[in-house]
Chains A and B, each alone.
Chain A
Amino acid sequence: MLAHQSSLHASDRALSRFHFRVVLAAVLVLAALSLLGARFYYLQVVQHDYYSTRAEDNRISVVPIVPNRGVIVDRSGIILARNYSAFTLEITPSNVEDLEATIDGLSQLVEIESKDKRRFRKLLQEGRSFESLPIRTRLTEEEVARFAANRYLFPGVEVKARLFRQYPLGSVASHAIGYINRINKRDLEKIAEQEQAANYKGTDHIGKTGLEQRYEFALHGETGYEQVEIDAGGRAIRSLSRTPPVQGSHLTLTLDVKLQEIAEKAFGDRRGALVAIEPSTGGILALVSSPTFDPNLFIDGIRTEDWDVLNTSRDRPMLNRALNGTYPPGSTFKPFMALAALETGRRTAGQSIWDPGYFNFGGHHFRDDKVGGHGMVDMYKSIVHSCDTYYYQLATDMGIDAIAGFMGQLGFGQRTGVDLDGESEGVLPSPEWKKRRFRRPEQQKWYAGETVSIGIGQGYNSYTPIQLAQATATIANNGVMFRPHLVKYLTDSRSGEKTLVEPEPLRRLPWKPQHIETIKNAMIGVNTQGTGARAFAGAGYTSGGKTGTSQVYSLKGSTYKESAVRKELRDHALFIAFAPAEAPQIALAVIVENGGFGAQSAAPIARMVIDYYLLGKLPKGAAEEDDVKED
């Protein structure tokens, strides 16, 4: 009984202990579930905005739609730069397990050169492994088909249609047009500076030189955007919204590409430059720098071999001589000197000097080309026969400050402001220039003797061909000066609206008409009875010109014999001209490096160019097609 009671007692105690534990468990459960509730509250209420954004970021991907780059055409609408669609083979590295094996596998199907692999690695190193990167561009139809049949073997690899830039005329006008190439770090900085970063998402090429560079932001257009809903695998499920891209503006040039082609051919394999300008507008008709290069080589990243050829050639084809070559103008400087004399009142047209064949200054003999001298020389004769003595005397009489002042107004020694980047300044010699240029005091001093050869376009004189062409055009246009430019107008792709690039003259120089008349007459004389007469014999139009020869190698007193001097040390041949003389439609400057006398090698080029421009006459032996192509 007692035992039974105690057992009952023990059982009661066990039961109450059990009930206590059940209640304890209930409390623990309540606490734990409350903890979960608190966690849900935290995530769904407190952090809701954050996680909503994260979910949207997950869901929505903004895909840029790259606009079509603007087309470049010449003044008559001939296409100089265009876009064409081609297939590229692209890899998204982050979706590929074994990149090397994938590339090896792909090269069994399509040809992949080492240049392609190099470019791909470079892009990869730029940390773009989440983007689709090209391993091969411009696939043939057959290659596309071959890949398509095997694509299941290559996850993360796709064929895409992309637009490519093409320069249909190849090397013609390449220095003016320039080229595009893949965007590099420096370009990215430039884009960021211009606050264009958002607009360049998805763009992978940018203009590197020429008009492609200068008009980059106009040509590029506005990038469109598509908001796409994507799934966890990154696949686009549907489009949410689309802002279409705005195509880049088209450029219509002042350039006459036929004229350009004829001018380039006229140079043959000689080095040099030619700038032809429409005097009444400043529009550049031809801008030649010889030799040229094929801009198509650059578009996908140039092959090392091609780059080496271009870069190591002694002829330096990449140099734009029209803008960056600086040359003493030689005797082509004389008409400008003569005009300066008239305008400053230092000479009248009829005043004559006696030329004994030399000019003596401070005991130093400045030699004239003609042994024994030209005898009595007035202004007309000094230009027609290119008398040096006349200008030695003139320069001395005028003094350097007056010369520099007048020439500066004509644009010598200053950037013309042509719509191409990287133009050189050249050197307009003056005492101030010397002070800036040299550091030692004895070098900084201007000596009167230095003024003498300035008069004949030698000495420190050093100008770019485009400066010389601009000055010639300004005389041809009676002192109304334009900024030389290549683009006539931009056409907005949406509205079709045309924006002229250069509608207004830069300045009107207040020259007396009779002074201009005197200079023009003398220049006409050059082409009819003077140093340019041979080259312009039988031309069906009137023209003005001036030959020039600029010294590369300083001859110490001895007579210059072309055959005796190494070719690289021969004089540069120059020629400036305008035509028709009554109402000039074209003004130009030509330089043939190491060409010898201007009359011999530069003037015939000018003749060919003007003949074509005014008469539509093709040079003898020149075929329409480009049959010889140098690569």
Chain B
Amino acid sequence: MQEFLARSWRGLIAHIDKPLLLITLMLMAAGLATVYSATYDANSHLAPQMVNMAIGLCAMWAVAQLPPQKLMRFGVPLYLVGVLLLILVFFFGIKVNGARRWLSLGFTRIQPSELLKIAVPLMLAWYFHKHEALLKFRHYVIASLLLLLPFALIAKQPDLGTAILVGAAGFYVIFFAGLHWRVIGGLLAVAAAAAPFAWTMLHDYQRKRILTLIDPTTDPLGSGYHIIQSTIAIGSGGNYGKGWLAGTQTHLEFIPERHTDFILAVFAEERGLLGNGILLLLYLLLIGRGLIIAGNASTLFGRVLAGSVTLSFFTYVFVNMGMVSGILPVVGVPLPFMSYGGTALVTLSVGIGMLMSINTHRMLVRT
């Protein structure tokens, strides 16, 4: 009996990567404490966030059980469904606050762009894997087009944060698949040349956010308010912070979106530089572990997918922290495992699950 239980337990944790799980759980714990602090005054989001995390952990476990070959099979259907839904959003989406991001299913609303954060890297990893033997320049072009379509649809909604994350995930796949440096250099040059043109394509509020970043005081009560208040929160935290539940910027409601995108401001105010340092270290460890998994992966699919998922984590972290600390414009990107919100938690957990799958199925399947 005891042996049965032990064997079952071994079976249960066979595909769990312990370092990744440990880091994830530590981040989640920090996240829960911070979400509690950010919301307990009015309407505590602690319980729902715990539910979100439980769902996320289940999804992580489930994805980790799937061998990469099975994961690969999801690439094309998920991508096709995702793009189709984005097209439906484009025509029939519900407009909220001037952005068309949601699709009504009658009983609930969904945000298809979230799906693409997984579907795009899966699809592109599968595509490169399929053509591994004879990768030609045109494959990179086709992969880029496969990326550009959902990216454009999401950017058009507009949802700059998600577009950046999807675009980055796709680009990382192409980068790790071996896109030539000359092409990367050329693309950078084109991007630089297109910047002024892109500027005119941006929405007014997006342009304002960028201008505000340069000088937040130009609009202290408008779009500069977020940045001003969050930097005050971070700066006033000092070395060791004001203590848990003791942040004045947080509890007197000066920090906007304090339990979601700006949760770092709450954490930094109450935990100080020490807390921020530990947080950065945890993310560094998470990313480091992901890159090691990528480096050790046995297939091209595994390598590029693990690399892309890992750098996506980095993108989340860098864009969010950069925005909250006032060195990047304000875009809607959550802080992984810290920000409140079920959708992002599940997406990120699935990403961790994929990393675990790639790492733990390595020994069993060789190509």
Contacts and interface: CB of A to CB of B under 8 A. Distances in A.
B66 interface: no
A245 to B, nearest CB: 27
Contacts of B254: 58, 231-232
A241 to B, nearest CB: 16
Could you say which of B232, B234, B235, B321 has the most chain A C-beta atoms within 10 Å of its C-beta? B235
A29 B307 CA distance: 12
Nearest to A53: B236
Given A39-B325, A58-B249, A21 B239 contact: no
Given A17-B178, A33-B280, A36-B280, A43 B249 contact: no
B176 A51 contact: no
Interface in A8-62: 14, 17-19, 21-22, 25-26, 29-30, 32-33, 35-37, 39-41, 43-45, 47-48, 50-52, 54-56, 58-59
Contacts of A198: none
Contacts of B176: 18, 21-22
B244 to A, nearest CB: 17
Contacts of B90: none
Interface string B248-262: 110011100000000
A48 B238 contact: yes
A306 to B, nearest CB: 41
Given A52-B235, A54-B232, A40 B248 contact: no
Contacts of A510: none
Contacts of B276: 37, 40, 44
Contact of A55 (B232, B253, B317): B232
Contacts of B321: 36
Contact of A44 (B235, B287, B314): B235
Nearest to B277: A37
A229 interface: yes
A85 interface: no
A40 B291 contact: no
Nearest to B237: A44
Given A55-B233, A232-B254, A44 B248 contact: no
B37 to A, nearest CB: 16
A123 interface: no
Interface string B302-339: 01000100110010011001100111000000000000
Contacts of B314: 29, 32
A286 B197 CA distance: 85
B252 A58 contact: yes
Interface string B129-165: 0000100000000000000000000000000000000
A499 interface: no
A612 B126 CA distance: 115
Interface residues of B, number: 45
B82 interface: no
A231 B251 CA distance: 8
A39 B311 CA distance: 21
Nearest to A237: B252
Given A21-B176, A40-B325, A44-B268, A55 B318 contact: no
B345 to A, nearest CB: 22
B294 A36 contact: no
A22 B291 contact: yes
A17 B307 CA distance: 13
Contact of B273 (A30, A35, A45, A52): A45
B291 A26 contact: yes
Contacts of A35: 327
Given A18-B178, A29-B287, A43 B252 contact: no
A572 B336 CA distance: 95
B249 A40 contact: no
B291 A59 contact: no
Interface in B259-299: 268, 272-273, 276-277, 280, 283-284, 287-288, 291, 294-295
A43 B284 contact: no
A36 B234 CA distance: 12
Interface in B27-63: none
A55 B295 CA distance: 46
Contacts of A26: 287-288, 291
Given A21-B175, A39-B325, A44 B307 contact: no
Nearest to B256: A232
A233 interface: yes
Interface string A232-249: 110001000000000000
Contact of B294 (A14, A22, A32): A22
Contact of B236 (A21, A32, A55): A55
Contact of B235 (A7, A17, A36, A50): A50
Contacts of B231: 43, 51
A52 B283 CA distance: 27
Nearest to B251: A231
A32 B318 contact: yes
Nearest to B325: A39
A45 B325 contact: no
Contacts of A229: 248, 252
Interface of B: 133, 175-176, 178, 229, 231-239, 248-249, 252-254, 268, 272-273, 276-277, 280, 283-284, 287-288, 291, 294-295, 300, 303, 307, 310-311, 314, 317-318, 321-322, 325-327
Given A45-B273, A237-B252, 15 more contacts: A18-B176, A19-B295, A22-B294, A22-B295, A29-B284, A33-B284, A37-B277, A44-B237, A44-B268, A44-B272, A48-B236, A50-B235, A51-B234, A52-B238, A229-B252
10 contacts: A29-B311, A36-B325, A39-B327, A44-B238, A45-B273, A52-B235, A52-B236, A55-B232, A58-B248, A232-B229
Instruction: List the 7 closest pairs (A to B, CB-CB), nearest first.
Output: A51-B235, A55-B236, A43-B235, A231-B252, A44-B273, A232-B253, A51-B236
